[in-house]
Amino acid sequence: MNDEKTALGKKLLKIKKQNGWTWAEIAAKLGHAPVWTTAACLGQMSMTPETAAKAAALFGLSVEEAEVLAEAPYRGSLPTAVPTDPLIYRFYELIQVYGTTWKEMIHEEFGDGIMSAIDFDMTLERQPDQKGDRVKMTMSGKFLPYKRY
């Protein structure tokens, strides 16, 4: 696991909080989507050298820290097989309950394959509701069929 990226992610969270920034504001300054920007700052994506330089200037980082932002990460940031953070656990629970349903429906619509997490987009927005605001997430991944030999 890349401890440098993890430590740097914690540092960026601290700077973000100290400055009162939102991920949307940071993303706009770096020229990327908020979800991707957040993942990159937390060490789960690699920035181009140009984006890393922008991030370094924004966050007041060293050249060495900018280089860490541009390194390919060790993906998968959860410390345990079953997450214990309540919010993250709910996503695990969604997979446990709906994973086979999503798999079946994707296979029915597209055939035998997977949805890419590499060629992938995601948006998150607040959806007002009289019973309490809702979280609306939209995920879009390229379909990759399995090869048949």
Residue ranges per domain, the chain? 3-70, 86-145
Q: Which of 93, 104, 134, 140 is catalytic?
A: 93
pTM of the model: 0.78
Architecture of domain 86-145 in this structure: 2-Layer Sandwich (3.30)
* SS3 sequence of the chain: CCHHHHHHHHHHHHHHHHHCCCHHHHHHHHCCCHHHHHHHHCCCCCCCHHHHHHHHHHHCCCHHHHHHHHCCCCCCCCCCCCCCCHHHHHHHHHHHHHHHHHHHHHHHHHCCEEEEEEEEEEEEEEECCCCCCEEEEEEEEEEEECCCC
Q: Which of 90, 104, 134, 140 is catalytic?
A: 90
Give catalytic status of residue 46 as yes or no: no
Give catalytic status of residue 90 as yes or no: yes
pLDDT tens figures, 7-48: 999 999 999 999 999 999 999 999 999 999 999 999 989 999
pLDDT tens figures, 84-133: 899 999 999 999 988 988 999 999 999 999 999 999 999 999 999 999 99
Domain 3-70 has CATH 1.10.260.40: yes
Give catalytic status of residue 93 as yes or no: yes
Q: Which of 50, 64, 104, 116 is catalytic?
A: 116
